[in-house]
């Protein structure tokens, strides 16, 4: 499977709104696409194809802005909280306070998980899903842009 075919495949899946998850295997390359998260698993001999596929996903604008590591095609369902604005990411309500969430915490839909500060205003970011916090992708105090993945949940 060449880069062009892979790109077309991804675009086709991405444009089909009813497809939540898609798996395809041929000639030593397995492509596993999930809406919102894209992962590529491959046999050792097709590692370069996998890396190319990551690049293709990035170009096709399907994947989240940060590419997934090639090996761990996320098999479980997961939900990404992405930034709705440009600003600075803070994990806690204040410099000495505890963070809103840590890895392993369970969050309810609608609860505040972090703050994005923009133009001196602290914007509380609420989770749109409930679930367990699997990872926190941005360091405290780091700038984020629109669409950056902030926190990943495993919905329950």
Partner 1 sequence: MFRKVLIANRGEIALRVLFACRELGIRTVAVYSEADRHALHVRFADEAICIGPARSADSYLNIPGVISAAELTNADAIHPGYGFLSENAHFADVCRECGIKFIGPSPESIRTMGDKARARQEMARAGLDILPGTEDPTDDIDEAMGVAGEIGYPVIIKAVAGGGGRGMRVVWSRSEMASSLATARTEAGAAFGDARCYIEKFIDRARHIEFQVLADEFGNAIHLGERECSIQRRHQKLIEEAPSVIMTPELRDRMGSRVVDAVQAFGYSNAGTLEFLVDSSGHFYFMEMNTRIQVEHGVTEVVTGIDLLRDQIRVAAGEKLPHSQSDVDFRGHAIECRVNAEDPFTQRPSPGKITAWHQPGGPGVRVDTAAYAEYVVPPYYDSLIAKVIAHGANRDEAIRRMDRALHTFIVEGIQTSIPLHLEIMGDERFRSGNISTRFLDELRDPGRRQASVR
Enumerate binding residues for partner 1 (CB under 8 A).
59, 61, 65, 85-88, 118-119, 121, 143, 145-148
42 and 52 in contact (C-beta within 8 Å)?
Answer: no
Nearer to partner 1, 84 or 155 (CB): 84
> Is the CB of 29 or the CB of 150 nearer to partner 1?
150
CB of 66 to partner 1, least distance (A): 12
CA contacts within 13 A on the Cβ side of 51: 5
* Of 16 and 145, CB closest to partner 1: 145
106 or 146: whose CB is closer to partner 1? Answer: 146
Which residue spans within 21-148 are E strands per DSSP?
21-26, 29-34, 37-42, 79-82, 87-90, 106-107, 112-118, 121-126, 131-136, 143-144
Phi-psi region of 136 (alpha: psi -120 to 50; beta: other; left: phi over 0): beta
CB of 7 to partner 1, least distance (A): 11
Minimal distance in Å, beta carbon 32 to partner 1?
Answer: 23
Q: How far is the CB of 61 from partner 1 (least distance, A)?
A: 6
Task: Work out whether the CA dihedral 71, 50, 147, 131 comes out positive or negative.
Answer: negative
**How far, in Å, CA of 85 to CA of 105, rounded?**
24
């Amino acid at each position: 499977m060449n880069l062009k075919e892979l790109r077309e495949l991804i675009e086709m899946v991405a444009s089909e709104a009813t497809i939540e998850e898609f798996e395809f295997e041929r000639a030593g390359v397995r492509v596993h696409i999930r809406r919102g998260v894209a992962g590529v698993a491959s046999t050792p001999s097709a590692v370069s194809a996998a890396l190319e596929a990551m690049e293709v996903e990035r170009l096709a604008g399907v994947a989240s802005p940060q590419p997934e590591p090639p090996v761990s095609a996320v098999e479980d369902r997961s939900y990404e909280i992405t930034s709705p604005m440009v600003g600075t990411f803070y994990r806690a309500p204040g410099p000495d306070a505890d963070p809103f969430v840590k890895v392993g915490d369970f969050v309810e839909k609608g609860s505040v998980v972090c703050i994005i500060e923009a133009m001196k205003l602290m914007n509380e970011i609420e989770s749109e899903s409930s679930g367990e916090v699997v990872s926190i992708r941005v360091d405290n105090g780091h700038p984020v842009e629109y669409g950056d993945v902030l926190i990943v949940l495993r919905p329950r």
